[in-house]
Amino acid sequence: MARECAVCGKGVAKGNKIETRGKAKYLGGVGTKITGKTRREFRPNLQNVKITAKNGGNTHARVCTRCLRSGAVTKAVKQKPFQLPKGK
């Protein structure tokens, strides 16, 4: 729950950090060698945002940036936009 998107459920993924040494062949070297592999975590980019819920109310949620950019959630409006008074 702590490191998970409230909309899509994206969470922590496990992977390897690969350490290399040497110069690549296309740069004129003899090639790179792997000197170590260690486990690591790939964490999602979560943001604490105030969003508008489906029932019309506002609530706070931890949402990944992909859901924010795609429009899966709508951020809550802080203030109504200014409107000119109607003429006579």
Segment-wise mean pLDDT, segments of 10 residues, the chain, 88 residues: 89 96 96 96 95 88 94 88 82
The number of C-alpha atoms within 13 Å of 56 and in the hemisphere containing its C-beta is 0
Q: Could you tell me the fold of the domain covering 13-70?
A: Ribosomal Protein L24e; Chain: T; (2.30.170)
pLDDT on residue 88: 66
pLDDT on residue 34: 96
Confirm if 52 and 74 have CB atoms less than 8 A apart.
yes
Confirm if 47 and 73 have CB atoms less than 8 A apart.
no
Cα angle value 48/54/57 (rounded, 5°)? 65
Question: Would you list the domain boundaries of the chain?
Answer: 13-70
d(CA 67, CA 18): 30
